[in-house]
Amino acid sequence: MNEIREHFSSKVGFVLASIGSTIGLGLLWKFPYVVGQNGGGLFLFFYFFSILVIGVPLFMGEVMIGRYAQRASVSAFQVIEPSRKFWKIGGFLGAAASFLIMTYYSVIAGWGLSYLLMSLLGFYEGKSNLEIAAVFDRLASSGSITTFWHFIFTALTTVIVMGGVRKGIEYWSRIMVKVLFVLLFILFCYSVTLPGFGQAVDFIFRPDFSKFNGGAMLEALGLAFLTMSLGQGIMISYGSYLKKKENVARMALVVGASVMLVAVLAALTIFPVVFTFGLDPKSGPTLVFQTLPFLFAKLPFSMLLSSMFFILFVFTALTSAVPLIEVVAANLMEHFPIGRKAAALAVGTASFLLGIPSALSYSRGIFPNWQGIFRTDFRTTVDDLVSIWIIPLAGLFTTLFLGYVFKKEIMQNEFGENVSPALFPIWVFLLRYVCPFIIVLLLLEKSQIFNH
Amino acid sequence: MSTVREHFSSKVGFLFAALGSAIGLGVLWKFPYVVGKNGGGAFLLCYLAAILFIAVPVFIGELMMGRRSARASVGAFQVLSPARPGFAVGGYLGMAVAFLIMSFYSVIAGWGISYLWMSLMGSYDHIQTPLEMQALFRTLIRSPDICLVWHVVFTAVTTLIVYSGVRKGIEKWSRYMTQALLIILAVIVVYNMTLPGFGRAVRFIFYPDWAGFHISSILEAIGLAFFTMSLGQGIMFSYGSYVQREEDLLGMGVVVGGAVMAVSLLAALAIFPVVFSFGFEPDAGTGLVFETLPFLFKKLAGGKIIATAFFSLFVFTAMTSAIAFIEVVASNLMEMYGIVRSRAVLIAAASTCLFGIPSVYAFSGGIFPVWDGVYGMNFLDTVDTLVSTWLIPLGGLIISVFIGWEMKAAVKKEEFDISGSRYRLYSIWRFLLRYVIPVSLFLILIGKVYKV
């Protein structure tokens, strides 16, 4: 391309876009539950440690690959190491992961949009618990409505990406991440006043040695890896929009710290509500679309609470979905002679179409026998494929590339002068030995390859 | 853009366009009923005050932003405050509102076309009871194929007008249709004076009934004033950008405000005398226009002419507003993506037309069979409620805060023209936009949350 590559207008813009990308739905609805189930405070502590050991180093590495190559994920590997095309596979895997995630992410986020609308219409009024819970079943099993929202969410994301790095991604990520923080804080303050707050603190923070074992440690490492948006080519793309000279290590730490902060805040916001009504903690769509709505309905200011929560939900999803489309579109732009708008439109369309089976997976509109054959519904199958295989593999490629292929003089140079030089060998050590080891362990454990 | 921006050819041209867009279906079928229900004369006074102190100042502000920036709603915010790009959300909201309203407006206008046709052909002359009339209307709205045809036809005609540009399209046709509309309205009112129910209608509308007047009526009056002057819909930004620099915005605001008020009262006097003459209860919305009125028109001397005139009025009312909606979406698209008018108009129209299809099917359940079950109302009503309850007041709030606090005082003074004694008016205007209007709109939003 002849034109000058568009860059983030400022460091803050990059950091906010990255935070938006890393804070995803998993953090909102999975993290609190996993923490409670795996030993509370101990797990939390180990998760923080994992963010530092695996999350931050790989995050820095991905950003540097992108910034140095000034290319999106696939060609970035190629530009840095032209002689060995093999490493490009890492870039392909990352782009594939992003694309596949987007196809089903927008289905779930679409339900979030629907619940936002329902909150604004005041659908809680005069409904019993069972009726509120039944609404979700009706929604999820209505293929047409789910597809409608899947379309709307994909379209919103695509339009943002079409706007470009500054006017699209940076602009909207900035606004949404700020709103997200404010809303989370307001909801958190509200949760503090609830009677279940103490129990939630207990559930999340109290160290429980009986539950904390090797499996829990691995879970924490995996969570750290997933919550930092690694192995999806995202930070490579975002890094390529970064100007040289920025202190990558510090930005990675800021992002890592924000993720931890938001994770804990989200847990302390959601679980007090659940415990106030004496219910068992849950995770996933059941928590968000069935448990929380009928609990909100019983609390004062229900309409306001529920609307704010679902705005938070939608913004969380949207800021994470934007880079998913962006990664694939950026790669397309570099391999084919098309502009940003055409590329984003193509990716959005493809993602919408490939997401339709996920949207219909509850109504069984397509592939009625899928569940009988693959043992999970279509959406979960794609989710599992990505999180068990593709992302860890892409991460493995990336860390090996950084540790053994990327020239150390260049990396040292890219590391920046403002950072203590003593940290550089530690970083390289982590990338060479610790990260690959952990990722291989994760792959073996999650895929249960030796269980049979 | 290198081309010179097209402008309205004259002040009168602008006034008719603005008036045409402001007089929407709400004026016809909602205003009379709301006035009567909320205490007649007492409410009218409130409405008058709301037009003067809430709607007219915002109207002037929107025009000012459009004229000064020479941009549509989104661009206006961006140009006038590059340092705080977050405000542009207000512009995006306006664009979204115009898009969403247009999507279902053309469906309702389509019913109007059907009734115009039926009146001309005498299709419902044989009907004897109100129940049969009701059944006829139900049959129509449950025939998506017929409704789809009119939906497409109405959108296409509107598109053609906007396609032709500001002077040759919008200005010319708005002027013709608004003039026709006023004449028809006047003729019907004069005819109504001969009816026995005229006196009762006048009493219903003007006589202050304090029993019907509550605190919430004040908020209702503000909302109605805001809505009937087409504010928060991005329209006056686009139209303002076509207003010549030497025109006096204050004068224009007052004239349009007064005209809207007068037309609203005329509409009430055109409809309620008929209703009262036959001892029917006052009503609003589709039931009034498509069930009660056609039945009653039949009983009048020269009923066929009156019915035909009324439904022509209905369609013109819808179309002069629809022109503005398409224009808002198209002019924003032109600036956001740097495309020419013809292309932007086609994209805008095609997308509102597509998004309107679920509204076409809203009553027959063809596309989203369980929509009503999930959201408690059909698709068309859902979009309507979302827009009028939430998006318009929210957009208005952002606009008034922006004009009151963010826009530079020098710019405002220059645009307002503070020569001589007008400085006092300017101070009042600024005070209203800074304090009175944001607080009122905020109260309206809060009222929605707490269901006052």
Closest residue of chain A to B367, computed from CA coordinates: A144
> Inter-chain contact B370–A145, Cβ cutoff 8 Å?
yes
- CATH number, position B208: 1.10.4160.10
- CATH number, position A312: 1.10.4160.10
> Inter-chain contact B374–A117, Cβ cutoff 8 Å?
no
Cα–Cα distance measured from residue A94 to residue A75, given in angstroms and rounded to the nearest whole number: 12
Cβ–Cβ contact B52 with A under 8 A: no
Residue B5 belongs to some domain of the structure: no
Domain of residue A172, residue span: 11-447
- Tally Cβ neighbours within 10 Å of residue A252: 26
- H/E run at residue A299: none
Residue A143 belongs to some domain of the structure: yes
- Cβ distance B115 to B405 under 8 Å? no
- The three-state secondary structure class of A2 is coil
ipTM of the complex: 0.90
pTM comes to 0.93
Cβ–Cβ contact A189 with B under 8 A: no
Cα–Cα distance measured from residue A37 to residue A42, given in angstroms and rounded to the nearest whole number: 11
Burial of B293 (0-12, 13-18, 19+ CB in 10 A): buried
- Tally Cβ neighbours within 10 Å of residue B283: 19
Is the alpha carbon torsion for A170, A171, A176, A182 positive or negative? positive
Residue B13 scores a pLDDT above 60 = yes
Cα–Cα distance measured from residue B157 to residue B177, given in angstroms and rounded to the nearest whole number: 13
Report how far apart, in Å, the C-alpha atoms of A222 and of each of A376, A446, A447 are: 22, 9, 13
Residue B2 belongs to some domain of the structure: no
Radius of gyration of chain A measured on its C-alpha atoms: 21
What is the per-residue pLDDT across B169-223, written as a single tens digit (0 to 9) for each?
999 999 999 999 999 999 999 999 999 999 999 998 888 888 888 888 898 899 8
- H/E run at residue A264: helix A248-276
> CA-based angle B43:B47:B51, to the nearest 5?
175
> Inter-chain contact B368–A145, Cβ cutoff 8 Å?
yes
Cβ-based contacts of B85 with chain A (< 8 Å): 171
3-state secondary structure chain B: CCCCCCCCCCHHHHHHHHHHHHCCHHHHHCHHHHHHHCCCHHHHHHHHHHHHHHHHHHHHHHHHHHHHHCCCHHHHHHHHCCCCHHHHHHHHHHHHHHHHHHHHHHHHHHHHHHHHHHHHHCCCCCCCCHHHHHHHHHHHHCCHHHHHHHHHHHHHHHHHHHHCCHHHHHHHHHHHHHHHHHHHHHHHHHHHCCCCCHHHHHHHHHCCCCCCCCHHHHHHHHHHHHHHCCCCCCHHHHHHCCCCCCCCHHHHHHHHHHHHHHHHHHHHHHHHHHHHHCCCCCCCHHHHHHHHHHHHHHHCCCHHHHHHHHHHHHHHHHHHHHHHHHHHHHHHHHHHHCCCHHHHHHHHHHHHHHHHHHHHCCCCCCCCCCHHHHHCCCHHHHHHHHHHHHHHHHHHHHHHHHHHHHCCHHHHHHHHCCCCCHHHHHHHHHHHHHHHHHHHHHHHHHHHHHCC
Hey, of A144, A149, A180, A304, which one would you mutate to test binding to chain B, going by the most B CBs within 10 A of its CB? A144
Cβ–Cβ contact B373 with A under 8 A: yes
Residue B1 scores a pLDDT above 70 = no
Residue B399 belongs to some domain of the structure: yes
Residue B42 belongs to some domain of the structure: yes
Provide CB contacts within 8 A for B50, sequence distance 6+: B221, B222, B224, B225, B226
What is the per-residue pLDDT across B60-75, written as a single tens digit (0 to 9) for each?
999 999 999 999 999 9
Instruction: Provide the shortest C-alpha distance from residue A167 to chain B (in Å).
Output: 10
Count of structural domains, chain A: 1
pLDDT in tens, chain A (452 residues): 445 788 998 899 999 999 999 999 988 888 888 888 888 889 999 999 999 999 999 999 999 999 999 999 899 999 998 888 899 999 999 999 999 999 999 999 999 999 999 999 988 777 888 888 889 999 999 999 999 999 999 999 999 999 999 999 999 999 999 999 999 999 999 999 999 999 999 988 888 888 888 888 888 888 888 889 899 999 999 999 998 878 899 999 999 999 999 999 999 999 898 898 888 887 888 888 988 888 888 888 888 899 999 999 999 999 999 999 999 999 999 999 999 999 999 999 999 999 999 999 888 778 888 888 888 889 889 999 998 899 999 999 999 999 999 999 888 888 877 778 888 999 999 999 999 999 999 998 888 777 64
Domain of residue B126, residue span: 11-450
Model pLDDT, residue B3: 59
Count of structural domains, chain B: 1
Q: Which position has the higher pLDDT, B279 or A112?
A: A112
> Which amino acid would we find at residue A67?
R
- Tally Cβ neighbours within 10 Å of residue A181: 19
Residue B419 belongs to some domain of the structure: yes
Scanning A277-390, the segments in alpha helix (DSSP H) are 284-285, 292-298, 302-335, 340-359, 370-374, 378-384
Q: Which two tokens stand for residue A112?
A: 């979030």
Instruction: Provide the shortest C-alpha distance from residue A343 to chain B (in Å).
Output: 15
Residue B3 belongs to some domain of the structure: no
Q: Which two tokens stand for residue A405?
A: 């292929």
Residue A3 belongs to some domain of the structure: no
Cβ-based contacts of B375 with chain A (< 8 Å): 117-118, 121, 123
> Inter-chain contact A144–B85, Cβ cutoff 8 Å?
no
- H/E run at residue A338: none
> CA-based angle B157:B162:B164, to the nearest 5?
100
Q: Across the interface, which of B85, B336, B382 has its CB nearest the CB of A121?
A: B382
Cα–Cα distance measured from residue B444 to residue B447, given in angstroms and rounded to the nearest whole number: 5
Model pLDDT, residue A1: 42
> CA-based angle A332:A322:B76, to the nearest 5?
105
Residue A312 belongs to some domain of the structure: yes
Cβ-based contacts of A160 with chain B (< 8 Å): none
Residue B452 scores a pLDDT above 50 = no
Q: Which two tokens stand for residue B122?
A: 């005498």
Cα–Cα distance measured from residue A70 to residue A79, given in angstroms and rounded to the nearest whole number: 9
Residue A452 belongs to some domain of the structure: no
- Cβ distance A69 to A87 under 8 Å? no
Model pLDDT, residue A366: 85
Q: Across the interface, which of B85, B86, B368 has its CB nearest the CB of A148?
A: B368
Model pLDDT, residue B133: 92
Hey, of B77, B79, B329, B370, which one would you mutate to test binding to chain A, going by the most A CBs within 10 A of its CB? B370
Provide CB contacts within 8 A for B46, sequence distance 6+: B217, B218, B221
Closest residue of chain A to B96, computed from CA coordinates: A156
> Inter-chain contact B85–A171, Cβ cutoff 8 Å?
yes
What is the per-residue pLDDT across B83-132, written as a single tens digit (0 to 9) for each?
999 999 999 999 999 999 999 999 999 999 999 999 999 888 888 888 99
- H/E run at residue A214: helix A214-227
Report how far apart, in Å, the C-alpha atoms of A362 and of each of A138, A295, B452 are: 10, 24, 39
Residue B2 scores a pLDDT above 70 = no
- The three-state secondary structure class of A246 is coil
Residue B155 belongs to some domain of the structure: yes
Residue B371 belongs to some domain of the structure: yes
Cα–Cα distance measured from residue A228 to residue A235, given in angstroms and rounded to the nearest whole number: 9
Cβ–Cβ contact B79 with A under 8 A: no
> Inter-chain contact B449–A120, Cβ cutoff 8 Å?
no
Provide CB contacts within 8 A for B48, sequence distance 6+: B261
Instruction: Provide the shortest C-alpha distance from residue B252 to chain A (in Å).
Output: 35
Cβ–Cβ contact B377 with A under 8 A: yes
